[in-house]
Amino acid sequence: MHIAVCPGSFDPITFGHLDVVRRALTMFDEVVVAVATNDAKVPLLPAQVRVELARQVVADLPRVRVGLVPGLLADYLQEQGACAVVKGIRGASDVDAEVPMALMNRHLSGVETVFVAGDQSLAHIASSMVKDIARHGGRIDDLVPGPVVAAVHAALAERKGGR
């Protein structure tokens, strides 16, 4: 059984992420969408909400499960028995950001990272931009699945209301 982990902040999960998960499924027996903490980012959505949204939007994909990474990704990879990390690459800046993490994860766990070029028609989608667009009243329904649209709007409204 070859298990791959697709890690990310998923704040929120987008159509671009789902494309990468589908591509990972063509190479591995099982794919774990792993919601992790990126200390360089302040998330809009709490981790448990990100996990729940990911579960909803991968529900129709066989051989995919969703997990929460409680600490180091390297430890999670070993705990899951993963043979690979799969990450999507949209362009050169993704390579610059991802290669150091791939090297460190290999150093810590021995697990290799496989980089996948996502669908070019989705290459403009980034979670940070999705949040920015929604914050300024723009449409995000062609960037993220339906349940995510609602959750992002709810989280922004809550934040605006100071709750």
Query: Which residues participate in catalysis according to the annotation?
Result: 17, 41, 90, 127
105 forms part of the interface with ligand PNS (CB under 6 A): yes
Sheet holding 30-35, edge to edge: 64-68, 30-35, 3-8, 84-89, 112-117
The candidate with the shortest Cα–Cα distance to 50, out of 38, 63, 61, is 38
CB of 144 to ligand PNS, least distance (A): 14
Interface size with ligand PNS, residues (CB under 6 A): 14
Binding mask 65-104 for ligand PNS (x = CB under 6 A): ----x--xxx--------------------------x--x
38 forms part of the interface with ligand PNS (CB under 6 A): yes
37 forms part of the interface with ligand PNS (CB under 6 A): yes
Separation between Cα atoms, residue 76 and residue 97, nearest integer Å: 20
Q: Which of these segments, 31-39, 45-53, 59-67, 116-124, binds ligand PNS (CB under 6 A)? A: 31-39
Q: Which of these segments, 7-15, 59-67, 143-151, 152-160, binds ligand PNS (CB under 6 A)? A: 7-15
Separation between Cα atoms, residue 87 and residue 111, nearest integer Å: 13
In the bound state with ligand PNS, the residue whose beta carbon lies nearer, of 117 and 157, is: 117
Amino acid identity of residue 127, one-letter, is S
157 CB contacts (<8 Å, ≥6 apart)?
A: none
Reading the block at residue 14, the tokens are: 């987008």
113 forms part of the interface with ligand PNS (CB under 6 A): no
Separation between Cα atoms, residue 28 and residue 86, nearest integer Å: 10
User: Residue 153 half-sphere exposure, CB side, CA atoms within 13 Å?
Assistant: 12
DSSP summary character for residue 41: -
CB of 7 to ligand PNS, least distance (A): 4
List interacting residues with ligand PNS (CB under 6 A). 7-9, 36-38, 41, 69, 72-74, 101, 104-105
